[in-house]
């Protein structure tokens, strides 16, 4: 992914820094992902723990591949969408509204008290990543279009 300009550099850094932080948080605290998967009933009980480990691992692999310029930003966007899906469904189901029934200081209390701001931050980073992808794609097509319309240079044969 080629970056041009300070705003493009900053937004690329923001997407990578937030995605890296999200990956690190998911690998260190997989119980938050497993709690969301369990409470939203998205997966059967026997695959919740592997999924809670694979979601941040998938984000880490896509970040690494994109950082090495082996893929585009599209896999990072897809893995961010998977991360955005869990708190989005939890917010839709209203799981953050039952905080009165949770014990203070418990995992569920800490998770659901911060889920709404985290969702909106993730949504903002997801939108920025999509805008970066669209911007890079439009630059690639205009560069390819411009190179196709420029006539080749004719060389003279020296006598």
**pLDDT tens digits, 12-43:** 778 888 888 888 888 888 888 888 888 788 88
Against a cut of 0.85, is the pTM above it? no
At 121, is the pLDDT very low, low, confident or very high (cuts 50, 70, 90)? Answer: confident
Is the pLDDT at 48 greater than 80? The verdict is: yes
Segment 76-83 long-range contacts (CB within 8 Å, at least 24 positions apart): 76/15, 76/19, 76/129, 77/126, 77/129, 77/130, 77/133, 79/19, 79/55, 80/19, 80/22, 80/122, 80/125, 80/126, 80/129, 81/126, 82/55, 82/58, 83/22, 83/26, 83/55, 83/59, 83/122
List, for residues 137-156, the tens digit of each pLDDT value.
Answer: 666 555 544 455 555 566 66
Each domain of the chain, given as residue ranges in start order, spans 6-141
């Amino acid at each position: 992914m080629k970056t041009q300009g300070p705003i493009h550099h900053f937004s690329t850094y923001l997407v990578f820094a937030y995605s890296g932080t999200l990956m690190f948080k998911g690998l260190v605290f997989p119980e938050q992902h497993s709690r969301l998967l369990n409470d939203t009933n998205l997966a059967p009980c026997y695959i919740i723990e592997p999924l809670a480990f694979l979601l941040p691992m998938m984000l880490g692999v896509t970040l690494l591949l994109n950082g090495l310029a082996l893929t585009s930003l599209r896999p990072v966007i897809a893995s961010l969408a998977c991360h955005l899906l869990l708190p989005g469904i939890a917010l839709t189901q209203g799981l953050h509204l039952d905080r009165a029934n949770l014990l203070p200081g418990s995992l569920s209390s800490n998770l659901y008290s911060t889920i709404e701001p985290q969702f909106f931050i993730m949504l903002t980073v997801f939108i920025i990543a999509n805008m970066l992808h669209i911007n890079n794609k439009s630059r690639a097509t205009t560069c390819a279009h411009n190179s196709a319309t420029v006539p080749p240079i004719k060389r003279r044969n020296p006598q």
